[in-house]
Structure 1
């Protein structure tokens, strides 16, 4: 099948916008909840902090690889583009099929529902308003992004600043509660002793909480001076996230202790309530609402670009591959993603779907970074504005760790892993049907 000519996006995102996209794509609701799950599998505050540091360093390794990939191919579509060039159209389609059908809209539905829960709690609305609020949030964000990448970036920048303010509030609360006494932060917790197997299991939610750094690469075709901006923004943004995550975990440990963190279902709210009383819980509810709202915005924007790129390639609905208006907006792709996310929100099935595709998402990360070896081999003499330090060891380390995470996830949840692989496999006949349809049309 002959490749379609890719429509041109306008490069309107600067370094500040790009950094906000990286931070906003990673920090959602996970850091306000996940540390409690990790604490249940660790035996001390020291182990807790070390796991978040290790997870952060591993993720930074992946970010360095994505920085080179983005600098080499500064196009909209990110991982889809890398897989298509290195391994062919079928692997790229299987990635896009899984992400467009489930991961992007499922993530939007799940996080929009989380946003609605916290928004209703903070605003004093009854819980049955949660689903209409979630649907309204999705519709509002799609509408904002229909106005162009600048309007979407404005919303992203605002809510990323607000989520960083929420993180800062938790950190300050923990430091005040510590009162200068840091002795118990790293102490062993006799209630939750941890073995090596438990620590490996605890690394899984840590790595998942660090996920989402790929969204900037999805939007690379709209970044100004991408060869310089992408590496700089990825490293600044992800470095900021790692520091935030370590400080938040430190705040939880100083405010609640390791045992208190392990037994908490809402550690951020519990930490602030200890310092500020009931009002603290309301404040952090607003903070988490802002954090999740910002994540939905970037997931909608990035997901729509992947769908548009696939459609322009002729392996998805042709109409979704068009760019509209002077702002060059993928309107059909945005509307399709938003409508499907609303359907998943109404059905309530997004949580199971996301569980089913976790293995596929991380498999895509591994293969996406593996394309770096292909680019280095086939473009040996082509200068790159940014090159991964420590090549090939850093990419090999990240790919090996991610494959290890996939194996551990499959052993822990074989049914979910099996469904993930089945969903990917179902994309094979769909791909050939699209080829046949495209051939008949031409």
Structure 2
């Protein structure tokens, strides 16, 4: 039961599996660390809560848009496919170029390094141990090996680690609520302050909510995709928003706004206060679990994009290969893992991710804009429809534009380098099309 004879993917995932991909792709280490950054940029508990609520609405808008796109084109490749059909192969290639060179690979490298740091900490080793890089590489290689055996193997890992990371979130919430009277949680609902700094506070919020598009990359392996993809995206996004709001309420309840803003690791602080050294070890394990699960999603999802690019002839032809038995994009999978390993060992992934931020968000806006193309060409009958069209995609694109502008103002040098990386993909695209790399 394959997606098409061309790709040979098999539809083996149900709604629960797809929902776990959505939740696991969004909730990472950020829920344990980012709330402090948001609180430090706001002036009250109410404003902090508002920021996370607004971020949830923005992410839900994006989920609705991607739900309709996934239902219209339930095949591997996600945003690359939508951009190729709506705006042509060059735009699609540039999207894939930045994803391959930096975003997927850099994210895997960065998060694998974080996993290794917390894993070593659990083993009683200091944070500066030289074992962190080899442990990170080992995690990437292990996950690539698991995903080689197909989407069911990767999904099983994802389901287990997503449930475990949700359990870690529950533990943090319980710890925060148990510390009664420590902070100013009673003031969460007070009158909201008006401040220009709110936009700056929204940046880490929106980054924490990103990741819902991973499911679209594996749409060719989801059963009954016209129904399953929208359900998974909406359910997953609502679950993530609830987790973020409840977790932040717990942080504010226990630490207060000032305490949260001053904390470098709020989840660890809560668990340490509530349960002592055992709590600190539990949250370290929770972060390790969460980061390991994210690496798994990025590998299994990103490899599908590069497989489709290989089939289109704008990437190594060998990357188009699908394993006959396991139905996995084995060559693309190991290629992505290999590049992530190189970035991990080089230590350059952090700076690369800073450079690629603008390209990532521009890509999100472009993918959102493809909905206008599909509505104009195919109408709105017979598929899941994102509500509020055309206002919803317009608002989404405008919000993304605001994020890009804010990032450019905050880091103009990184923005220019990021645009240069995107521009460098243009001659690469034409060289690939002309010389037909067959490797």
Q: TM-score with structure 1 length normalisation? A: 0.95
Residue 188 of structure 1 and its aligned partner are, at CA, apart by 7.9
Instruction: Give unmatched runs, 5+ long, in structure 2.
Output: none
Query: What is the CA–CA distance in structure 2 between the aligned matches of 1:304 and 1:378, rounded to whole Å?
Result: 29
Query: What is the CA–CA distance in structure 2 between the aligned matches of 1:389 and 1:225, rounded to whole Å?
Result: 21
Q: Is the 8 A contact 2:76 2:304 kept in 1?
A: yes
Query: What is the CA–CA distance in structure 2 between the aligned matches of 1:31 and 1:196, rounded to whole Å?
Result: 24
- 1:207-232 Cα offsets, whole Å, 9 max, x none, are 00000100000000000000000000
Query: What is the CA–CA distance in structure 2 between the aligned matches of 1:398 and 1:251, rounded to whole Å?
Result: 29
What corresponds to 1:272 in structure 2?
271
What corresponds to 2:219 in structure 1?
220
Residue 338 of structure 1 and its aligned partner are, at CA, apart by 0.6
Q: Is the 8 A contact 1:6 1:309 kept in 2?
A: no
**3-state DSSP of counterpart to 1:315:** coil
What corresponds to 1:52 in structure 2?
52
**3-state DSSP of counterpart to 1:110:** helix
1:50–1:143 distance in 2 versus 1, CA, 3 Å: same
What corresponds to 1:148 in structure 2?
150
The count of residues paired between Structure 1 and Structure 2 equals 433
Residue 195 of structure 1 and its aligned partner are, at CA, apart by 6.0
Q: Is the 8 A contact 1:105 1:340 kept in 2?
A: yes
Query: What is the CA–CA distance in structure 1 between the aligned matches of 2:50 and 2:68, rounded to whole Å?
Result: 28
Alignment pair present for 1:399 and 2:401: no
1:408–1:117 distance in 2 versus 1, CA, 3 Å: same
Q: Is the 8 A contact 1:41 1:194 kept in 2?
A: no
Structural mapping, 1:110-259, within 5 Å: 110-126=110-126, 127-178=129-180, 184-186=186-188, 196-259=195-258
1:47–1:326 distance in 2 versus 1, CA, 3 Å: same
1:42–1:324 distance in 2 versus 1, CA, 3 Å: same
Query: What is the CA–CA distance in structure 2 between the aligned matches of 1:28 and 1:203, rounded to whole Å?
Result: 17
**3-state DSSP of counterpart to 1:178:** coil
What corresponds to 1:99 in structure 2?
99
- 1:80-135 Cα offsets, whole Å, 9 max, x none, are 00000000000000000000111101000000000111111122134222111111
Query: What is the CA–CA distance in structure 2 between the aligned matches of 1:119 and 1:165, rounded to whole Å?
Result: 18
Query: What is the CA–CA distance in structure 2 between the aligned matches of 1:322 and 1:407, rounded to whole Å?
Result: 39
Query: What is the CA–CA distance in structure 2 between the aligned matches of 1:37 and 1:22, rounded to whole Å?
Result: 24
Q: CA RMSD in A?
A: 1.8
**3-state DSSP of counterpart to 1:169:** helix
What corresponds to 2:61 in structure 1?
61
Residue 136 of structure 1 and its aligned partner are, at CA, apart by 0.5
Residue 329 of structure 1 and its aligned partner are, at CA, apart by 1.1
Instruction: Give unmatched runs, 5+ long, in structure 1.
Output: none
Query: What is the CA–CA distance in structure 2 between the aligned matches of 1:402 and 1:377, rounded to whole Å?
Result: 22
**3-state DSSP of counterpart to 1:196:** coil
Query: What is the CA–CA distance in structure 1 between the aligned matches of 2:356 and 2:404, rounded to whole Å?
Result: 11
- 1:24-61 Cα offsets, whole Å, 9 max, x none, are 00011111111101111101111000100000011100
Query: What is the CA–CA distance in structure 2 between the aligned matches of 1:30 and 1:233, rounded to whole Å?
Result: 21
Residue 280 of structure 1 and its aligned partner are, at CA, apart by 1.1
Q: Is the 8 A contact 1:10 1:327 kept in 2?
A: no
What corresponds to 1:285 in structure 2?
284
Query: What is the CA–CA distance in structure 2 between the aligned matches of 1:319 and 1:53, rounded to whole Å?
Result: 44
Q: Is the 8 A contact 2:14 2:223 kept in 1?
A: yes
**3-state DSSP of counterpart to 1:323:** coil
- 1:158-217 Cα offsets, whole Å, 9 max, x none, are 00000000000001111111269965442889xxx9763311010011000000100000
